Amino acid sequence: MPSLFRGAARASLAATLLLAACAKEIITPGAPAAAPSSGETATASALAATPGGTVNGVMLQGFYWDVPQTTGGQTWWQLLGSQAPELAAAGFTAVWLPPAYKGGSVFDVGYGVYDRYDLGEFNQKGTVATHYGTLAQLQSCIAALHGRGIQVYEDVVMNHLTSADAQEQFSYNGQNFNVYTSFTYPSRANKYSSYQWHYYNFNGTQQAPNNGWYRWNAWDFQPYAGGQAYDNLLGSEIRYADPNQVAETIKWGNWLTTTLSLDGYRLDATKHMLTSFVNTWLDNVKGSSGRFAVSEAWFANLADLQNYAAVTGGRTSLFDVPLHYTFQAMSSGNGAWDMRGLQFAGFTEANGALAVPFVDNHDTDTPGGLFSPVINFKMLAYAYLLTREKGYPCVFYKDYYTYGLGPQLKTLLSIRRANAYGASYEYTGVDDADYYAYSRTGDAAHKGLMLILNDGGGARTKGISSPFKNATLTDKTGNYGGSITTDGNGYGNFPVQARSWSVWVPN
């Protein structure tokens, strides 16, 4: 849940949260086949191991913010399970599931956590099913994904609880206050866990929307990163300075992993939780199992994200928030942005082994949340991250299905599987305000590629010394017809249509 939910944005979201849900924060070095031509610079980067244990893996964010309860008579779990064959055929190697546990109502999309042990099994908050369906449907969905060789990552929300069963009273400065902090789960009747939550298990709780906070324990940490990281985000804030809550949440994480046969985790709002707790949870739940973890630490500043990677000691990958804002700036520029800003961009280039680049997600695409969507040049952004040497890219469900980008994304996924191998090169002497070039040399079994992006209003062609000598290349995206040839030094003219992308591949 990004800490950019502050001020007006955070206030407007609070009302939505109470009605619907908790807001989501929201090596094989190579050498070029030919020396670059005069005035052109080609820079190689090291080939990083793909996170998630799959070569050229790609995860799908398998939901969006306003997912309907049913689609064509199917729950979300049933729909997603039915899509497993198509997703596997397209080239997705993992799916990130939404929070699977009971929220404050059937309308809660899982981030307004009520009972973390209720995966759609108990009649609580007026429903047995969660927003996405029942436990049995969830397990069938996971089995369908696993049956197609797709890993499953569950969204883990550990910062807070909401929608308590009853009020409790605490005293502060001689005054008594009633707060909704008693979580006893009478309908679950201690199945899976007898742990109950009371006001002393939290640092504080949110009052009615926009009315501030009640606090009786100190926040777990002081704000940092210019105030973007702070403890009190939403609901009743769990006190992880207390080892009892740490032990219970570790127990729950291991139970969840076993119950759902998880391959990994997406950790929500980690910059709002005590970092020592995040590290301890990862050590005791993910451990050395080989399971994957990626955390949402919503830092727009690259230095802040790098610092967070350091304090978490490489235990978790991180979403490349700075790169998202680079794409958003390209989108907002609508042709006026300087494409040289894509050179060596974001956390993906700075720390590729821990980077999960993305274009949009459930927060950035949703009015009332962050709402920083990439509208213009979205496919240029996807072409960039899906051909990149570094990082473990994530594709947004809504882009693939709702916005009709599926066919184009399938083409890029196919190119990634077939050609995105070998050392990479940034052509800093070729790029200009509209034209961006990037190559992969290929390896013994794969032919490599040349990516060309253009946000300008006219078609462009530039001469580049590519890694491909005496080669005939075609644009595998189909965006530019015909073929081009290179000479004995790999030099050729690489065109691209206006406001378009091309991936030139040796035949």
The DSSP output letter for 192 is: S
> In this structure, what is the dihedral angle of CA atoms 224, 229, 234, 237, given to the nearest 10 degrees?
-60
- Write the Ramachandran bin of 7: left for phi over 0, alpha for psi from -120 to 50, otherwise beta: left
CA 387 – CA 391 distance, rounded (Å): 10
* 122: three-class secondary structure by DSSP: coil
Among candidates 386, 387, 389, which has minimal Cα distance to 399? 386
Q: Would you say 210 and 14 are in contact if contact means Cβ atoms under 8 Å apart? A: yes
Among candidates 1, 63, 21, which has minimal Cα distance to 370? 1
Q: Would you say 341 and 329 are in contact if contact means Cβ atoms under 8 Å apart? A: yes
CA 484 – CA 486 distance, rounded (Å): 7
Quick check: is 66 catalytic?
A: no
Q: Would you say 161 and 113 are in contact if contact means Cβ atoms under 8 Å apart? A: yes
Give burial (CB, 10 Å; 0-12/13-18/19+) of 303: exposed
Angle at 418 between CA 415 and CA 421, to 5 degrees: 95
Quick check: is 168 catalytic?
A: no
Helix (H) or strand (E) holding 237: strand 236-238
The DSSP output letter for 282 is: I
Candidates 154, 296, 349, 455; catalytic one: 296
Query: For 339, what's the count of Cα atoms within 13 Å in the CB-facing half-sphere?
Result: 27
CA 339 – CA 129 distance, rounded (Å): 47
CA 387 – CA 342 distance, rounded (Å): 13
Taking every pair of C-alpha atoms in the chain, what is the biggest distance, in angstroms?
85
Candidates 25, 108, 237, 268; catalytic one: 268
Return the structure tokens found at 277.
């707790």
Give burial (CB, 10 Å; 0-12/13-18/19+) of 222: exposed
CA 42 – CA 31 distance, rounded (Å): 10
**CA distances in angstroms from 123 to 105, 162, 215, listed in the order given:** 11, 17, 31
* 120: three-class secondary structure by DSSP: coil
Q: Provide the annotated active-site residues.
A: 268, 296
